[in-house]
Structure 1
Amino acid sequence: MKAITDTTEAGGADREASLTPKRWLKELADGERRRLMLATLAGLVVGLCTIVQMLLLAFIIDRLLTGAPEAPVGVFFVALVAVLVLRALAQWWQETTAQAASLAIRSRARAVLLDHLAALGPVKLASRHSAGLGSQLVEQVEALDGYFARFLPQLRLATALPLVILAIVLGLDWLAAVFLLLAAPLIPLFMALVGMGAQRLNQAQFAAVTRLSGHFLDRVRGITTLQLFGRTASAAEDVFGAADDYRARSMRTLRIAFLSSAVLEFFASVAIAVIAIYVGFGLLGYIEYGPAPSLSLFSGLTILLLAPEFFQPLRSLSQHYHDRAAALGAAEALVGILNETPPASVETQPEGDDSVDTPVRLTEVCVEHVGRGQVLGPLSLEVSRGEVIALAGPSGAGKSTLLQLIAGFVAPDQGRVEVMGEVRPAWMDQRPLVIKGTIADNLRLADTHASDDAMQKALSRAGLAELLARLPKGLETPVGERGAGLSGGQAQRLALARIFLSDAPLVLLDEPTASLDEGSEAEVAASLACLAEEGRTLLIATHHPALMAIADRVISIEAGQVVEEASA
């Protein structure tokens, strides 16, 4: 038997260990540290090849203009071509390795998010729009790509390569090295200032697209109602207004990106121009301060060729800094999901207890909802194996919460819940899930390997045999999202057929006959009685006498507490 206990202490620990966007991104990067390091090494090879390329160019030009006619420049041309080939290969290696690391990280991030959403369960996710969640799992996870594929490798290269170039320039002319050293901090400074604003804009942009996704899906789902009441034009205007707001936010983010790039290019260009003026006047003999008189054509050309390469890693980092801002903006919303505490996890109890005879036991459980206070409890309940229990009571009495508690969708704020088995029980909600696909696709949610015969038998037991016989495509008949193409009762019975197809020993049903007429209700009640005869344990929240008639016990609940218990 597995137990769910009071989780107040565990919830406090979870809050203390709440993820932050930076910490989550770091944890994701640590999982692909090897590939990211290889991408960085490949980028370092690219940078070193570029430095060697500039040195060879300066040497070749110097030999051609000032060297003896027999100077062996051909050898240096061959070396230059070899360096260019090596640089191209290293650049390809860097791109492919970084993209592979980013793809693996995004796949793992989606898996973590999907697992956490599954752990949160339907009750915790009731406040989130499905379209918003879909947008986050697709677009916001994709927004992490640039951070891992480009920003992280470039972050290390922006430190290493400028230091190598600075050391070379320092050996040739210390005054030119001073110019580079003075200009270098300006780029990271403005990059950080602009990046902070870009991160806030990206957060707002992702929030806007999440709202837009939900807004659009709501209008699409309600298109029939909008047409009936003649509100399609105003709904279209609403969607257009939301889309235009997203457009304005996107353009604002792009404006910041272009502005920051212009500022960074300006400072880099000014610094390169200052060095060019210094080298030019030094070679002409107009500057006699410091090392200027000793400048040669080779040293001057080398400094001029390396100056743009000194700023290139920093400029690339500034371009990818917007990838960082986008990733932090996306991670802010994704971490918000991960920081939601799921219902209490279950722990296996030692063998030899009485779980065979008492598969469900609740001891003084209480459940509270934010804004509503205590909605269930204190309540104690024991359910015997193979027993059918009907939970009766007015709407809002706590029947659904009790079923959700046993299913593990919510955790008790006080008390203890013990449920048999290692798998979750079969569950049927008041609004059953029907996905877009075929009837067979919907049934296979309960058993992915179910045969056609088993599915037909389940449909027959749910009272859908006549409908199935009328359908030309049978099990392959398509149905729309939320049961479009089926009546409310047919969708209810399709969900009920999944229960029959499942082999779960514990079955929880919340108003399973809510949309059925009396005849269909009687058929479903007879089918549920057959489930009980198979030895399954049933807990049914219902108002209908036909279901209460098949119960071994009827438990009346009011204000979250048991007020009456009667045996059939």
Structure 2
Amino acid sequence: MTPPLAVDTTPRGWLRDLAGGVRHWLGLAAAAALLAGLCTLVQMGLLAWLVAVLINDSRSVASLTPVFVALLGVLVLRGLAQWGQERAAFEAGLRVRERVRESLLDHLAALGPVRLADRHSAALGQQLVEQVEALDGYFARFLPQLRLVMLLPAIILAVVAYLDWLAALLLLLSAPLIPLFMALVGMGAERLNREQFVAVSRLAGHFLDRVRGVSTLQLFNRTRASIDEVYAAADDYRRRSLRTLRLAFLSSAVLEFFASVAIALVAIYIGFGLLGYIRFGPADGLTLFSGLFVLLLAPEFFQPLRTLSQHYHDRAAALGAADGLIERLKQPAPSIPAFATGDSAPPRITLRGVSLAHAGRGRVLGPLDLDVAPGECLVLVGPSGSGKSSLLQALAGFVEPAAGTLAVEPRGPSAWMDQRPWLIQGSLADNLRVVAPDADDTALEAAIAGAHLGEVVAALPDELATPLGERGFGLSGGQAQRLALARVLLSRAPLVLLDEPTAGLDAITEAAIVEALQALRRQGVTLVIATHHPALVALADRVVDLARPPTAEERPNDVSA
């Protein structure tokens, strides 16, 4: 498991902490970029010298072959340096995205389905994909360029000042205009990117809800209205995207304008100085070499600043994404002890004064004292709302007790099954391997047989490779339940939690599930079942009625339904 990220209170601080983990890659990218910039400086110097020599000294091209070879070598070295910069920057962005995505997945797993019940799956998917990907430009492009812009323009300015201090003064006076406009643009771009991420999350959830409910919409003749709603949401996102692009293009045009004006001023000064119309300061000392060299270096002086301004929108996008990611990572998760190493034995469960509460509902269960022996089959009964599902969620580690202590020792993996099994779009085998990715076909077939689903699978055209739609589309309710039970069998979890596993099923399917649970009992698995069905109650070693929960003074054998 990836170590949890230290979540700073601000997006800038959080991004700074992430940058610390890839500092060496960012330094390597900046060093390679600086080498490429120095190669460009040498290249421009060689070009200016070649032109000056060919024009002033009338030397033959053949006599300058060594210089041309040196120029070619500089070009090759510059290309290699640029490749190294791109490679190191890509590696920095990749490692940051991997770390953030793994930490986010670990945090979502720690939160569990109960704490994420009010979060749309489309919004979570958008965070895992788009918002994490939005960090790439900040680390792969903006940060290396930020380091480069601190060094290369200063080196070029020093060379220009050595050749002509007045030209260097013109460059120095115009340079601050670019960072100034970058800061002005960044004030609005960060806000627009944050709003855009919120809008696309809502759009994804809106569209997914309509797709999932398309059958209901058709039954009530609401398909046209739902299409119009999706169109309106998409059009709102389009407008927000165009607003962000408009700001980006406008800022780039302004920055290019000021850079072009500064370069033009330098060109005018050099031209008139070489013609003898300017005799102020160092203009009298201008030569064809120095003038051409300064003119060639003027665009290179602004190039790092212009590139940084282009990547400044990557910074705004990263800050907007970081705002949502920080909010998710700071959501408190239950403190669950680590799993015991090695083969986990059936656990002993101990509850002392445990109370459970939900936001907006207050206390839903407790205080409760309960002991479950290893390998015991405990059945929870009681009217709806008595806290059966909440207790199972606490045993699974999805929620923490509001009061009291709950111990599951040893804490190993647990299997969960309820009346609405979670099935993914994929084959039957894919749905089984969710709990055991390395399971072979023999293990899958054994689990299918244990869940009494063998005849159903054999009748399918592709058997285990038969594709299923989202939420098990293609299977009946009973078949989906038995597939979920096969997944429980395949997991070999020492603790199995079942929430109304036979609700709404026919007698034949119910009997098949009961028989499979009897096989689990014989294996010594600890079973905790919440149910109203007599067939499941008959399995129990002990029945606990949560309408009258046991206390510490009562012996287990004294508690009955």
Q: What TM-score, normalized to structure 2?
A: 0.91
Name whichever of 264-273 and 558-567 sits farther off.
Answer: 558-567
Following TM superposition, by how much is the alpha carbon of 1:165 offset from its aligned partner in structure 2, in angstroms? 0.8
**Matching residue of 1:329:** 320
Following TM superposition, by how much is the alpha carbon of 1:263 offset from its aligned partner in structure 2, in angstroms? 0.8
1:69-121 deviations in Å (ceiling 9; x for gaps): 57964443332222222212222222233223323332333222222222221
**Matching residue of 1:9:** none
Q: Distance between the aligned counterparts of 1:379 and 1:421, measured in 2?
A: 21
**Matching residue of 1:93:** 84
- C-alpha contact 1:198 1:253 (8 A) present in aligned 2: yes
- C-alpha contact 2:347 2:494 (8 A) present in aligned 1: no
Note closer, same or farther for the CA distance 1:452–1:174 as it changes in structure 2 (3 Å cut).
Answer: closer
SS of the residue 1:318 aligns to: helix
Of 130, 135, 151, the residue aligned with 1:139 is 130
**Matching residue of 2:429:** 440
SS of the residue 1:363 aligns to: strand
Note closer, same or farther for the CA distance 1:17–1:42 as it changes in structure 2 (3 Å cut).
Answer: closer
Name whichever of 99-108 and 224-233 sits farther off.
Answer: 99-108
Tell whether 2:127 aligns with 1:124. no
Of 30, 33, 52, the residue aligned with 1:43 is 33
Note closer, same or farther for the CA distance 1:562–1:264 as it changes in structure 2 (3 Å cut).
Answer: farther
- C-alpha contact 2:346 2:526 (8 A) present in aligned 1: no
Note closer, same or farther for the CA distance 1:115–1:17 as it changes in structure 2 (3 Å cut).
Answer: closer
- Computed over aligned residues only, the root mean square deviation of the Cα atoms, in angstroms, reads 2.8
**Matching residue of 2:184:** 193
- C-alpha contact 1:428 1:512 (8 A) present in aligned 2: yes
**Matching residue of 1:389:** 378
**Matching residue of 1:5:** none
Given residue 44 of structure 1, which amino acid in structure 2 is its aligned partner? L
Tell whether 2:43 aligns with 1:60. no
Of 391, 394, 397, the residue aligned with 1:405 is 394
Of 549, 562, 566, the residue aligned with 2:559 is 566
Given residue 312 of structure 1, which amino acid in structure 2 is its aligned partner? Q
Tell whether 2:487 aligns with 1:498. yes
Note closer, same or farther for the CA distance 1:234–1:66 as it changes in structure 2 (3 Å cut).
Answer: same
Given residue 416 of structure 1, which amino acid in structure 2 is its aligned partner? T
Note closer, same or farther for the CA distance 1:502–1:50 as it changes in structure 2 (3 Å cut).
Answer: closer
Q: Distance between the aligned counterparts of 1:560 and 1:337, measured in 2?
A: 36
1:520-559 aligned at under 5 Å gives the runs 520-558=509-547
Following TM superposition, by how much is the alpha carbon of 1:556 offset from its aligned partner in structure 2, in angstroms? 1.9
Given residue 385 of structure 2, which amino acid in structure 1 is its aligned partner? G
- C-alpha contact 1:202 1:329 (8 A) present in aligned 2: yes
1:313-324 aligned at under 5 Å gives the runs 313-324=304-315
**Matching residue of 1:426:** 415
1:96-115 aligned at under 5 Å gives the runs 96-115=87-106
**Matching residue of 1:311:** 302
**Matching residue of 2:471:** 482
1:435-465 deviations in Å (ceiling 9; x for gaps): 1222232223333344545444433443434
Q: Distance between the aligned counterparts of 2:328 and 2:548, measured in 1?
A: 31
Tell whether 2:145 aligns with 1:162. no
SS of the residue 1:382 aligns to: strand
Given residue 131 of structure 1, which amino acid in structure 2 is its aligned partner? A
Given residue 545 of structure 1, which amino acid in structure 2 is its aligned partner? P
Tell whether 2:163 aligns with 1:209. no
Note closer, same or farther for the CA distance 1:318–1:559 as it changes in structure 2 (3 Å cut).
Answer: farther
Following TM superposition, by how much is the alpha carbon of 1:220 offset from its aligned partner in structure 2, in angstroms? 1.4
Note closer, same or farther for the CA distance 1:78–1:447 as it changes in structure 2 (3 Å cut).
Answer: closer
Q: Distance between the aligned counterparts of 1:277 and 1:547, measured in 2?
A: 93
Note closer, same or farther for the CA distance 1:16–1:363 as it changes in structure 2 (3 Å cut).
Answer: farther
SS of the residue 2:392 aligns to: helix
Following TM superposition, by how much is the alpha carbon of 1:516 offset from its aligned partner in structure 2, in angstroms? 0.9
Following TM superposition, by how much is the alpha carbon of 1:40 offset from its aligned partner in structure 2, in angstroms? 1.4
Q: Distance between the aligned counterparts of 1:367 and 1:318, measured in 2?
A: 53
Note closer, same or farther for the CA distance 1:128–1:561 as it changes in structure 2 (3 Å cut).
Answer: farther
Following TM superposition, by how much is the alpha carbon of 1:272 offset from its aligned partner in structure 2, in angstroms? 1.5
- C-alpha contact 2:499 2:529 (8 A) present in aligned 1: yes
- The count of residues paired between Structure 1 and Structure 2 equals 551
Following TM superposition, by how much is the alpha carbon of 1:216 offset from its aligned partner in structure 2, in angstroms? 1.4
Name whichever of 287-296 and 261-270 sits farther off.
Answer: 287-296
Following TM superposition, by how much is the alpha carbon of 1:16 offset from its aligned partner in structure 2, in angstroms? 10
**What is the percent sequence identity of the aligned residues?**
61
Q: Structure 2: which 5+ residue stretches go unaligned?
A: none
SS of the residue 1:366 aligns to: strand
SS of the residue 2:117 aligns to: helix
Q: Distance between the aligned counterparts of 1:188 and 1:287, measured in 2?
A: 31
Following TM superposition, by how much is the alpha carbon of 1:404 offset from its aligned partner in structure 2, in angstroms? 0.9
SS of the residue 1:120 aligns to: helix
Of 342, 349, 355, the residue aligned with 1:360 is 349
- C-alpha contact 1:376 1:560 (8 A) present in aligned 2: no
- C-alpha contact 2:545 2:560 (8 A) present in aligned 1: no
1:212-361 aligned at under 5 Å gives the runs 212-346=203-337, 359-361=348-350
Note closer, same or farther for the CA distance 1:487–1:293 as it changes in structure 2 (3 Å cut).
Answer: same
1:229-249 deviations in Å (ceiling 9; x for gaps): 222221211211111111111
Given residue 440 of structure 1, which amino acid in structure 2 is its aligned partner? A
SS of the residue 1:126 aligns to: coil
Q: Distance between the aligned counterparts of 1:302 and 1:449, measured in 2?
A: 64
Note closer, same or farther for the CA distance 1:432–1:540 as it changes in structure 2 (3 Å cut).
Answer: same
Note closer, same or farther for the CA distance 1:73–1:101 as it changes in structure 2 (3 Å cut).
Answer: same
Q: Distance between the aligned counterparts of 2:335 and 2:6, measured in 1?
A: 17
